[in-house]
Amino acid sequence: MNGGADALIDAFLETLGTDGTLMVPTFNYSVDDYFDPRETPSRTGAITECLRNRKQAVRSLHPTHSVATIGAKAAQYTEGHEEVGAFGINSPIDKLAKAGGHTLLLGVKHDTSSAVHVGECWAGTAYWGAPTRPNPPKEARAMLSDGSLITVALTGQPHCSVAFGIIEMPLRKTGSITDLKIGLAACQLMKTQSIIDRTVELLHEKEDILLCTNPDCYSCSHAREFSRSRTH
């Protein structure tokens, strides 16, 4: 696309209009000395890094899985993210879903869809909260606008998403996906709430359906063990 990331962001904002809000994942994943929403770079692509650097962008304070927003509800969507977990109830993506917002998969598949993690939380899966790696950090620090630091509990950190592709067929069966192309990228547009609802339905049918089968995957193998220990 001519103009690169900036041109794409401008196009999205123009499409959304003055009443709309654009949200992108600006995950940094790691726990460094502290998370600075103004300086800590996004590790989820050039578009997200470009947006978070815009003057009007508002970034949430979750130290590993922040989002950045521009628009009418930017502050509303990001507020309190550090208090509810990366993808917990009332996290930014959950707020977006409740407001009737959409998720656009831009040249990627459902294994990158963070709304599925929100669905895991709503489903009350027994493995929610299980460690995703050996000796995971329990908290991290984030910097406020005045330069002071707060300590944030790292609850409900997301598990492996390799198996999330299974959500696509239920979404297609309910007519929830609109296929389109932006430049050369194949895209899928859907209501965020639809992703969460289909995820909950799948997990109520089979709780480990979103866990991968790779025996070397610490996250998924320990999630299964954690689930069994809590349900027996």
Tens-digit pLDDT string for the chain (232 aa): 567 999 999 999 999 999 999 999 999 998 889 999 999 999 999 999 999 999 999 999 999 999 999 999 999 999 999 999 999 999 999 999 999 999 999 999 999 999 999 999 999 999 988 889 999 999 999 999 999 999 999 988 999 999 999 999 999 999 999 999 998 999 999 999 999 999 999 999 999 999 999 999 999 999 998 888 766 5
pTM: 0.95
Pairwise CA distance, residues 70 & 21, whole Å = 6
Contact 167, 110 (CB under 8 A): yes
